[in-house]
A and B are shown apart, each in its own frame.
Chain A
Amino acid sequence: MVISPVHYIALPLFAAFLMPLLAKVNRELVKIIPGVVLVYLSVVSVILMQQVVNTGQPIVETLAGWQAPWGINLVFSQFTGFLVSLMTFMATLIWVFSYRFKKVDNEPALKYYILFMMLVTGSVGVVLTGDIFNMFVFMEITAIASYSLTSFYRDRDGAEAGFKYLLIGSLASTFMLLAILLLYTQVGTLNMAMIAERMHTVPTGMKVTILILFVTGLGIEAEMFPLNGWAPDAYSQSPSPVGATFAALVVKAGVYSLIRVIFTLFDIQGAYQYLIVMGIITLVIAEFAAMKQTNLKRMLAYSSIGQMGFVLIAFGIGTKEAVFGALFLMFNHAVIKSLLFMSGSFFVYNSTSKEINGLSGIGKKFPYMGFLFSLGAFAIVGLPPFSGFWSKLYILIAAADESMLALVAIILMVSIVEIVYYFRVVAKLYFGKPTDEEVVHKPTFGGYFSMTVLAAVILVVGFYPDLITGFLHRAADTLLDKGAYISNVLGH
């Protein structure tokens, strides 16, 4: 059985269909299967990435034996491969963290683990597929899994957050369906490479309408400004491993689909300016909202939306350097934000109130967790020795090269806002007077392991960024090289 990109989807589905039966045999098995599947997929990622990097050619896998434009195909190139491998590694770490997670054990664990695995498969599917309607189906899989996971806990108002997310998510999928339909009438095919090739035949009026529908629909998934009201509730009400998965995987898939549509399918210049403007609005509003938050997890949620706005700005600049910076920021955001969510969750569980000022002095009683959280905070703000610094630096350089000085000013101003609200929390952790509560919820060995690995990655990439910069440059070139994508997939 030669290793091929379809394993990312066929295997988790096989495991998901098998799990209800295994649950009858023994409950423990059900919790282990996602881990086994994700570890195997991480190995597959390493093998496939090696193959792609050595040959320089993307792996285009046709399904059901029909060549590219007629059937559905999966594209595992430098760019999509990077995203898929990042998602799989992060999902494995999050699974290790959530394996013996206290809050999840007493609920119906079987459903949790199936939904979690499908959330990962859906996000990976969105990135891998080369067919526009197939991307819609995988987005629906991710969406339904996240609606149910958001409303997983009984005691919190998860159901409200779930319903609000579902409502806005349904509107997003309606816009996407309309856009796909219009695109099909103009171009006659659903394969993304063929669409990109034939896009010049579409009249501009129709092209702009289709782009608006796409950007509105996908903007909701990528948490762009106008319709991202669902995100803070979804992040804070869902179990914290799921919050970390949202930050590390689901929002990446949303941003990927937006970028794939704007960079590869359409060739309208106005889209880049639109990305920059919406990115700035999302960044500024999310960061200021984060400053006002008193609930730790909502603050992290708003900060995550802000980071996504920053990624959109970087993609909006559109030069090779800027896209490289954007990919680096996506990598950092996935690693650092998951660490913050994981360590943050243990503060929240140990303090009676979820509010930030309820956490005073917990850093002294929980030193290692306090260290991890502060490390994450310093990294995301972009202080020099950590990995967050490099991605922010590269994007600023790219913006400066394009002489967008106003943009540089805005980014620096927002960074100051970030520093304010993150250091406020860190200060509270260490210098607040400690409350008398005993530390009850200790993370499991798995929790410590995955958080330590994330911290190590932040430090290593911080000191030796060129470990992955060369690799990211090639990924950025693959994304920008539209002609190569078309010729590889269609094979002429």
Chain B
Amino acid sequence: MDPIIYNKIITVGVYGSAIGLILIGLYAVLVKKHLTKIVIGLSIIDSGVHLLFIAVGFIKGGTAPIFSPKGIELVNGGAQMVDPVPQALVLTAIVIGFGVTAVALSLVIRLYRHHNTARIDHIKSLKW
């Protein structure tokens, strides 16, 4: 098996799992009735998007963009550093995603307290 096939498999593996996560999350959000399951769907979509961010920034044979003594040695030895910008963006996106998930779950708790059920079809005014 020559390396071209290997690269193809790895590419399909990474992009495939990222897009798969987004689709599975989207399916959960659109189909599922239980509020907690919908929030799980949202967090799965978030995970998929974050994986795409890093996959796009990755460079084959690159090293982490840190100029520690070892890092400098590698760079002088001709290694190329990975693109740092998507990683900085993902750092912010992960913490924003956590903030939104925390607010969503507190809304779920309050809805349950109010209506004694956490299912969309049982909460009448939340017509979809």
Binding site for B on A (CB under 8 A): 133, 137, 140, 143-144, 147-148, 151, 157, 159-160, 162-164, 166-167, 170-171, 173-174, 177-178, 180-181, 184-185, 190
Q: Is the CB of A163 within 8 A of B35?
A: yes
Residues of B close to A140: CB separation below 8 A: 96, 99-100
Report whether A181 and B104 are in contact in the complex, using a CB–CB cutoff of 8 Å: no
Question: Which B positions have Cβ atoms within 8 angstroms of A?
Answer: 22, 29, 35, 38, 42, 45-46, 49, 52-53, 56, 85-86, 89, 92-93, 96, 99-100, 103-104, 107-108, 110-111, 114, 123, 125-126
Which chain B residues lie closer than 8 Å to A144 at the CB level? 99-100, 103
- Chain B min CB distance to A122 (Å): 12
A206 CB, nearest partner CB in chain B, Å: 13
Contact among B22, B42, B96 with A137 in the assembled complex (CB-CB below 8 Å)? B96
Known: A174-B46, A174-B49. A133 touches B89 (CB 8 A): yes
Q: Nearest chain B CB to A188's CB is how many angstroms away?
A: 9
Judge whether A163 and B126 touch: CB under 8 Å: yes
Interface CB pairs A-B, < 8 A, 17: A133-B89, A140-B100, A143-B100, A144-B103, A151-B107, A159-B110, A159-B114, A162-B107, A163-B107, A166-B100, A167-B42, A171-B29, A174-B22, A174-B46, A174-B49, A181-B53, A184-B86
A170 B86 Cβ-Cβ under 8 A? no
What total of A-B pairs shows CB separation below 8 Å? 71
Q: Which residues of B contact A151 (CB under 8 A)?
A: 107, 110
Distance between A359 CB and nearest chain B CB, rounded to angstroms: 22
Report the Cα distance A58→B52, complex, angstroms.
36
Q: Which residues of B contact A167 (CB under 8 A)?
A: 29, 38, 42, 104
Report the minimum CB–CB distance from A386 to chain B (whole Å). Answer: 36
Q: Give the CA-CA distance A159 to B120 in the complex, in Å.
A: 12
CB pair A166 B45 closer than 8 Å? no
- The reply to whether B56 and A178 form a contact with Cβ atoms under 8 Å apart is no
Alpha-carbon distance between A190 and B52 when the two chains are bound, in angstroms: 17
Give chain B residues whose Cβ lies under 8 Å from the Cβ of A190.
Answer: 85
Task: List 12 additional contacts besides A137-B96, A147-B107, A184-B56; criterion CB under 8 Å.
Answer: A140-B96, A144-B99, A162-B107, A167-B29, A170-B45, A170-B100, A173-B96, A173-B100, A174-B46, A178-B52, A181-B52, A184-B86
